[in-house]
Amino acid sequence: MFVKRDTVEKMTAVGCCGWFSFSFAKKSNKVRGLGDSTSCEFLLDEETEDEDYGFSNKDVADDGSGEDCYFQSPTKQAEENLRSRMQQGFMCREFPVKETHNVLRSEDESGNKTVNEYVYEHKIGGGSYGKVVLYRSKIDGNNYAIKSFHKSYLSKIHVTPSETAMSDVLREVLIMKVLSHPNIVNLVEVINDPATDHFYMVLEYVEGKWVFDGSGPACCLGENTSRKYLRDVVSGLMYLHAHNIVHGDIKPDNLLITGSGTIKIGDFSVSQVFEDDNDEFRRSPGTPVFTAPECCIGESYRGKAADTWAVGVTLYCMVLGKYPFLGETLQDTYDKIINDTLLLPDEMNPLLKSLLEGLLCKDPVQRMTLEDVAQNPWVLGADGPIRPYSCWCRQHNLQTKSA
């Protein structure tokens, strides 16, 4: 079996402590399921932290065969697909993301560090590619989460034979530039000064965290809260898939909750763009314990079906407070994902049980689709069907056709 290593941050936190593939926690060589005593040892390179780079030495690997070279660069493919769709009017932003090509790093009168109009508040998280910092705008007074990177550093990290970490960042920016949905974190501004090594993504700041309602085992959400969150995730993900975008790393860590309790999907660092209905990919997505069985084998897989599996693992975590498949090692985890039977409590709500079995079906052809999930009796609950989101690009196209 072909197995890719991943950073320890991506294997640990499943709750509220991750921001866009960044973790608040210090490096650990243990992996624990929520509410589960199981632990895993992993052989990982040591990571270091400094003021500018956050955590470094991202674990990246390929299968050594060089076969990725036969596939078009994901970033170039994303550029071509997105550019083509923009030309056809498929862009959900009525107003484009602000692009700034000069960086002024300084201090304000109180000695706080500033980047252009943004005043440093405190660090939110650190990750393998950079760090996320809370800044306050001097212009509108609002808080923003800013992801900062060093271009020269990311350009040296190869994630495939033909792709660097900088490619991932640029693809993430390209994708987020076209997105606008109430259940997706909004990209506000990109700051990229050709004369400096600094690169910034200014994102809306979502302050909320997971809110446990006290029912069920420790660290578990109740059915009502889980249903509410799942509906938001499905709405956002259906929107992405309808716009030919596969997220690739759906998990609780990448789901942020607003003060009003709305879920917003974040972290598009491993997301991919596909053309028409051809969502076949080769490069394995995000986080091991949320990886679909077909992705563990090392062959090509369907991105939408893999996202749907990750939704199932996420729902399982929310309801039961642990991972459905977790081994003693990374290899063992993948073996369990591929071979082990899904275990669910006998006393579980039969409708919820059926939903989890459908989402976590190991055969991607037989697995439930998001459209099936949106109509599932447990998901409908007392709120009824999940309403399709009427995005701006579709409204614009309908107006154009009717004119």
Q: Which of 186, 55, 87 is nearest to 393 (CA)?
A: 87
Contact assessment for residue 14 and residue 252, using Cβ atoms and an 8 Å cutoff: yes
Distances (CA, A) of 254 to 13, 76, 147, 169, 251: 10, 25, 14, 16, 6
Alpha-carbon gap, residue 73 to 162, rounded angstroms: 7
Location of structure tokens 């709750």: 15
Alpha-carbon gap, residue 273 to 232, rounded angstroms: 21
List the binding residues for ATP: 147
Alpha-carbon gap, residue 225 to 233, rounded angstroms: 12
Task: Kindly name the residue from 249, 253, 267, 279 that is annotated as catalytic.
Answer: 249
List the binding residues: 147
Cβ-count burial of 106 within 10 angstroms (0-12 exposed, 13-18 middle, 19+ buried)?
A: exposed
Who's near 36: CB < 8 A, 6+ residues apart?
321, 322, 323, 326
232 in catalytic set: no
Alpha-carbon gap, residue 234 to 379, rounded angstroms: 10
Alpha-carbon gap, residue 272 to 174, rounded angstroms: 10
Q: How do strand 22-23 and strand 143-150 relate by DSSP bridges? A: unpaired
Which residues have a catalytic role annotated? 249
